[in-house]
Structure 1
Amino acid sequence: MIIVMKAGAAKKDMDEVLKRIKELGYMPHVIHGSTRDVIGAVGDERGKMVLHSLESLHGVENVVPILQPYKLASKEIKKESSVVRINDEVSIGGERVIMMAGPCSVENERQIVETAEAVKKAGASILRGGAFKPRTSPYSFQGLEEEGLKLLAKAREVTGLPFVTEVINPETAELVAEYSDILQIGARNAQNFALLKKVGQLGRPVLLKRGMSMTIQEFLMSAEYVMSEGNQSVILCERGIRTFETATRNTLDLSAVPVLKEKTHLPVVVDPSHGTGNHHYVAPMCYAAVACGADGLIVEVHPDPEHASSDGPQSLKPAKFQAMMDKLRLFAEAAGRTL
């Protein structure tokens, strides 16, 4: 249920509503709006009608049901688009399209610092890089783990760029959160519910990638797992889905962007590197993603992709990334946004 507070409702009225929601066995989640606050009361659907009794409390305007199974992620609870703040300079979901760029895997200090400097020069606002790598083969490079996190922190110190890196299990989630600015949940873990609940408790923004075969509703239900633990700073990422087509690594579902924009208030970014698996197709998909309303992009960049430890074929060299960014600014302008 959504409890809509009256405009200008006093704090004591809000506190009383929160108290009553808990007494009724539900978890309250406060959403601050531009003119009034609303409270999402989440819990067992079978007894939700008891929440209608809250309409009699002072300061409450009305109580309405949330029809979607994803409660906190739904636009029913928050009409205006959410903006996820990363630091004092960078937020995702506003007028500016945010570029996240860097290598698939952190390999050494020179590689990650050189790449960070290059993508920042080109206009990226966030560094991406993998320290823990979930790979299809157990014999593939699995990442430098904590040493990789330290190298990402070094690159942040040198360039000032916040960084996003992947969390692959609940056991190492707190370690990753100590170092990183954004916790990434990869496609293979998009329905790892124990991990989703864990990152929801850590207080870091979460970049949630769509699973390879997930429907939009399943994707939003995964976001709901994170948000139900009290973390409202969730960024959705379309990274391609598995279809019968073999010309690209995945099928980049750009139609998901406007669909998600209609159904949820959460910001949406696009990953054309994993979506296509081929560096030749990354730039066109970036242009198309901005045109269809994406709030950000996450692109793989490597100074020597021919010798990359992972995902070399889909990684852009710094010079090609710079050229793409120059052209991408024109697409952002045409869409009424900045880069």
Structure 2
Amino acid sequence: MATLSLFSVVVFLHLTVVLFVSEPTNAQGLKVGFYKNACPSVEAIVEQTTAHFLSRAPSLAAPLLRMHFHDCFVRGCDGSVLLNATAANKQTEKTAVPNQSLRGFQVIDAVKSAVEKVCPGVVSCADIIALVARDAVVFDKGPFWEVPTGRRDGRVSNASEALQFLPPPFANISDLKSRFQAKGLSVKDLVVLSAAHTIGTSHCFNFNNRLYNFTGKGDTDPSMDPNYIARLKNKCKPGDNTTLVEMDPGSRKTFDADYYTLVAKRRGLFQSDAALLTDSETRAYVKLQASTHGSTFFKDFGVSMVNMGNIGVLTGFAGEIRKHCAFVN
């Protein structure tokens, strides 16, 4: 009996180990409702906290959406864009030029703090970014989509990688397609996600070359509507690094399909916007949404955001669940 009992214990322990090891494999990837048991109120907490900030500072909606893009395109959606510089690493993604205009980190910190009070050590900062981005879009009258969760937080953040992987505002269509393809995203994802420019503002220096010195000869970008150029020149003078301009004039606080109408009229603010008219597939999508008032845009945007949210995610035992989003544990 003693031998049998010992054997039984060994078998039990073996099965326990097998089940324990197998569980992360079954849980690999993301799923809607990942925190259903461990933190069932997480999405309500994120929504309420985000709305609290946006009701007082509506202009934060666009930066919070942009933050999700900037996180996912560098090392995947792992919260690395949130990490502060330290004595050991003075050049994190936050310090890179493309990220120096990011705003809303205080919203992420506040959401994390609120979630930690209810479910300590359970919800990742990477998931919080994804949920906040969705709720910011909804706040600006955009679409709702189910956000698959289960991401874990990365421990590495390098400014050089932000410069390498983030699509610049002056990118042409070949560059854009290459950068999106490298992240597993389709050409449709590219043209759909570009419409995030329907909300928010940009500094003049991101497009001033199109107004004053496009080819280095003091000329303007011929792909841009001359009337729009004249309007922009009234707001942005040469060398202006501080003035902010609406990316979707008259509608920057409403998430809608007006972006495509502007691009179709050659009034996209950035070269990367204008580039969508230089490819048959992206041009067809722009014209479809412009002519049908965004008939499929909201649905498409949710799908493409989920696709983007899958880039390079850490799951299972990879990474960590940060206690504070700005620092590794």
Q: Considering fraction of residues, name the structure with more helix.
A: 2
Q: Which has the larger radius of gyration?
A: 2
Greater RCO, CA 8 A, separation 6+: 2
Normalising by structure 1, we get a TM-score of 0.25
Q: Considering fraction of residues, name the structure with more strand.
A: 1
Normalising by structure 2, we get a TM-score of 0.25
